[in-house]
Structure 1
Amino acid sequence: MRTALVVRGGWEGHAPVETTELFIPGLVDAGFSVSVADDLDVYLDAELLARTDLIVQCWSQGELTDAQGAGLLAAVRAGTGFAGWHGGVVGTFIANSAYLRMVGGLFLFHPDRFLEYEVVIEPGRVAHPIVAGLGDFTVDTEQYWMLSDSMNDVLATTSFTPSAGEHGPGHVEMPVVWTRRWGAGRIFFSAIGHRVEDLRQPAVHELTARGLVWAAR
């Protein structure tokens, strides 16, 4: 049986307990033994991480010590999968540049209000197991503007319209879902997930659940 470790905490506005609870039953159904940690010192336990096939992280606006970060990165480099969504991955640990290199992106901004926007599956990635058969879909939630790494394998994007006085006319294509590698480890990230109801939307829930399983060792 494979093992999954859910690491959750940080800013309560992203409902780390409620959102991660949406996916634990699916992980169990997929054959994982699931444990939960609410302390970042779990990343110091090298033996535990070495036995872990998947880390699901939902920890927004946090601080990662050098030792915690080194433990996490070493585990993923050795083959432990790492997955998560929204600010729980790219809106946290911003002082730890090594962590940001591993996850491949950094949240910068979102408009003050929720927006209805289309999430477009990249034409060349429609057969990828995370998004196969899903098609484009619409969400009404925060739209994330991020810096992202060219090493990311982007599976889905959205068209972002900059505000007046910013980048000028036109649209900016912004990644929504990506995967990448860190050593032997697989990484999955989705920008959608500010609220529990965002992750309950069928297309969002399906691609997120698939992404977690895909990332596992």
Structure 2
Amino acid sequence: MSDIPNRRALVVRGGWEGHDPVAITDLFLPLLEDRGYTVETSADLAVYEDAGLLAATDLVVQCWTMGEITQEQSRGLAAAVRAGTGFAGWHGGVVDAFRGDLDYFMVTGGQFLMHPPGFADHTVHVVPERATHPVVEGLADFQVHTEQYWVATDPAVDVLATTVFAADGERDRDVVMPAVWTRTHGAGRVFVSTVGHKADDFDVPEVRTLTERGLLWASR
């Protein structure tokens, strides 16, 4: 039984196949459909040039790693979010996309820079001051075994969870890194999680929960 009727979601997926954009976004289609969203998928960034479609869309979920975006596409997406369309995604599908495009960066509020080789056991820490935010409310710190992202972020983002890069031969102190954040861009809400390289990352209950909540929070 849907409880948010007559909503529209657009799932934009493609780019580097190493992040399984189709298989992983498919994990979240039942959630959206159960909540009353009509879901459309697109494997073409030209959809960001369709101002009418974006204006009628409540939520864009993007999983598009690397790749190139045109100025018209980037500005079309940014304009739609400023006007109220929500935007959400995880891992490289949102913060390792379209590097160097400033309009896109101002939507996401962050960009991937590097990760240590392979997968690492690390803890995702819920920021105590943000523990009542609806995306992370009731969640405790949790462990993951996946890529740990080093990101550059806009200081204006609302960081909900962090990870720690321990001091090593390259760093003389621990570095606290944003892992989950939200922001507003004009009238639009944006949700970003850096966790989600592989499908079984979402088998961790906290990862699945905060991602689902993040998508719904971002929606118009």
Q: State the TM-score, normalized to the length of structure 1.
A: 0.97
Q: Secondary structure at the match of 1:186?
A: strand
Moved over 3 A (4+): none
Matched, 1:18 2:14: no
Question: Which of 45, 54, 62 is 1:40 aligned to?
Answer: 45
Structure 2 residue aligned with 1:180: 183
CA deviation digits over 1:16-49, x for unaligned, max 9? 0011001010111122111100100000111000
Matches within 5 A, 1:82-93: 82-93=87-98
Mapping for residues 164-203 of structure 1, pairs under 5 Å: 164=169, 166-167=170-171, 169-203=172-206
Residues 1:5 and 2:15 aligned together: no
TM-score (norm 2): 0.96
Is residue 99 of structure 1 aligned with residue 107 of structure 2? no
Task: Give the CA deviation at 1:94.
Answer: 0.7
Corresponding residue of 2:125 = 120
Distance between the aligned counterparts of 2:32 and 2:212, measured in 1? 8
Residue equivalent to 1:209: 212
Report the AA paired with residue 194 of structure 2: A
The number of equivalent residue pairs is 215
Task: Note the C-alpha offset of 1:118.
Answer: 0.6
In structure 2, how many angstroms separate the alpha carbons of the residues matched to 1:159 and 1:146?
12
Aligned residues with identical type, % of pairs:
56
Distance in 2 of aligned mates of 1:12 and 1:162: 32
- CA drift at 1:162: 4.7
The one of 41, 56, 68 aligned to 2:73: 68
Deviation at 1:98? 1.3
**Deviation by residue 1:82-105 (Cα, 9 ceiling, x = unmatched):** 000000111010131111122111
The farther-off stretch of 44-53 and 22-31 is 22-31
Q: State the Cα RMSD in Å.
A: 0.9
- Measured after TM superposition, the shift of residue 188 of structure 1 is 0.1
Q: CA contact under 8 A between 1:6 and 1:34: conserved in structure 2?
A: yes
Note the 1:53-64 alignment, pairs <5 A. 53-64=58-69
Q: Distance in 1 between matches of 2:163 and 2:57?
A: 33
Alignment of 1:140-179 (within 5 A): 140-164=145-169, 166-167=170-171, 169-179=172-182
Q: Please tell me whether the aligned partners of residues 63 and 95 of structure 1 are also in contact (alpha carbons under 8 angstroms).
A: no
* Distance in 2 (alpha carbons) for counterparts of 1:210 and 1:65: 30
